[in-house]
């Protein structure tokens, strides 16, 4: 983090009102969990601005700025219309790599359409005063349109080449289509910031040009490895079979042909756990924890946790720390197991602490820091 920003954020935190705090054990010492902000309705995605403030999406269709003192802005105008039903709504938010110069940001959302809906991605500029989105345009639409309120995905991650990864779900009712490369259901996609397929995509015969990999169920966590730049994803299984994957160009990750889970009814799904031509997960959970946002840790507050992947859990109501060695998961530590919150997103702040979104009708921004 830039020294000026670090100093400014430290001053803001020192001046902020006293916050609710809870303590939890960990392998790196006791953790302090502080409520930075509350009163957010089902917050879904979080992005830090260069000045240390946070952009937070609320699933019903609002985008807000959150100050380090926890103050919520009025809803930012110009947000696209969303389908705020079931798992749908306003979803992820990410800044353009050149945000400081162009003020572009990107939103994923459940878009209302004739005869259904689908995951879409929009680009817009944040106004200089932070109150409005300007020049919004939809740069991607998942096709085909489906009448479903389930499995929209959807995380947004820029890679080191400046292309945008977009994760999209299988829409639940269309799970077999995750194996069909002629559509965008159950895929990881890679597009240009202005829309259209990115250079370097596999572009295999019969594949939609935006597709990076196929055979995914519902990826709601994604992050780049800080050393390799490889995309890592956290994917919802059915009853069991939540997965960590490293999606590679042109590969098939199996859903619903292979899985470590079963249907919610107890019925077997697919052909088992292995099949030629389909990739194995790096790690899986059974029973499910319902993984959502994910972030690699690169800060200096917990040196022993450098390059760990932190994954929030919805049903599990915990924070999972996965230790890694290259492209291997070497262990799991379950943190904040008594927090009692559905953790929707995980981000490392510019101060080196971890920030979580607690998904609830009175949702919160939480900060995790060493209790010392």
Written in H, E and C, the secondary structure of the chain is CCHHHHHHHHHHHHHCCCCCEEEECCCCCCEEEEEEEEEECCEEEEEECCCCCEEEEECCCEEEEECCCCCECCCCECCCCCCCCCCCCEEEEEECCCHHHHCEEEEEEEEEECCEEEEEEEEEEECCCCCEEEEEEEEEECCCCECCCCCCCCCEEECCCCCEEEEECCCCCCHHHHHCCCCCCCEEEEECCCCCECCCCCCCCCCCCCEEEECCCCEEEEEECCCCCCEEEEECCEEECEEEECCCCCCECCCCCECCCECCCCCECCCECCCCCCCCCCEEECCCCCEEEEEECCCCCCHHHCCCEEEEECCCCCEEEEEECCCCEEEEEEECCCCCCCEEEEEECCCCCEEEEECCCCEEEEEEEECC
Q: Which of 151, 184, 216, 236 is catalytic?
A: 151
Q: From CA 240, how far away is CA 234, in angstroms rounded?
A: 13
* Chain centroid, CA 106 distance in Å: 13
Tokens representing 31 are 């953790």
Q: How far apart are CA 19 and CA 172, in angstroms?
A: 40
* CA 287/CA 341 separation, integer angstroms: 18
> β-strand 116-126 against 104-113: which pairing, if any?
antiparallel
Sheet containing strand 187-191, strands side by side: 156-158, 164-168, 187-191, 211-214
Active site annotation includes 236:
no
What positions carry a catalytic annotation? Answer: 151
């Amino acid at each position: 983090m830039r020294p000026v920003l670090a100093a400014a954020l430290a001053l803001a935190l020192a001046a902020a009102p006293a916050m609710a705090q809870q303590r939890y054990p960990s392998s790196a010492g006791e953790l302090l969990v502080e409520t930075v902000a509350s009163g957010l309705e089902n917050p879904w995605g979080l992005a830090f601005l260069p000045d240390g403030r946070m952009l937070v999406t609320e699933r019903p269709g609002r985008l807000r700025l959150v100050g380090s003192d926890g103050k919520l802005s009025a809803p930012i105008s110009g947000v696209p219309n969303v389908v705020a039903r079931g798992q749908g709504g306003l979803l992820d938010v990410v800044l353009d790599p050149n945000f400081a110069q162009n003020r572009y940001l990107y939103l994923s959302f459940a878009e209302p359409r004739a005869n259904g809906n689908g995951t879409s991605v929009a680009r817009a500029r944040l106004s200089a005063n932070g109150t409005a989105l300007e020049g919004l345009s939809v740069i991607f639409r998942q096709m085909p349109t489906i009448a479903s309120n389930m499995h929209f995905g959807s995380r947004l991650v820029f890679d080191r080449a400046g292309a945008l990864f977009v994760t999209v779900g299988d829409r639940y009712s269309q799970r077999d289509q995750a194996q069909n490369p002629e559509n965008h259901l159950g895929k990881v996609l890679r597009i240009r910031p202005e829309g259209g397929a990115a250079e370097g995509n596999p572009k295999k015969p019969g594949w939609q040009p935006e597709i990076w990999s196929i055979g995914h169920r519902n990826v709601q966590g994604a992050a780049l490895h800080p050393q390799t730049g490889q995309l890592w994803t956290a994917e919802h299984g059915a009853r069991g079979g939540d997965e960590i994957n490293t999606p590679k160009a042109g590969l098939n990750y199996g859903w619903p042909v292979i899985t470590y889970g079963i249907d919610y009814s107890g019925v077997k799904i697919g052909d088992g756990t292995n099949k030629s031509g389909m990739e194995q997960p790096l790690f899986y959970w059974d029973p499910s924890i319902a993984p959502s946002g994910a972030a690699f840790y690169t800060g200096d507050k917990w040196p022993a946790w450098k390059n760990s992947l932190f994954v929030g859990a919805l049903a599990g109501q915990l924070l999972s720390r996965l230790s890694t060695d290259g492209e291997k998961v070497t262990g799991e530590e379950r943190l904040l197991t008594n927090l009692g919150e559905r953790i929707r997103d995980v981000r490392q702040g510019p101060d080196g602490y971890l920030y979580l979104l607690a998904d609830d009708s009175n949702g919160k921004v939480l900060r995790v820091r060493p209790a010392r």
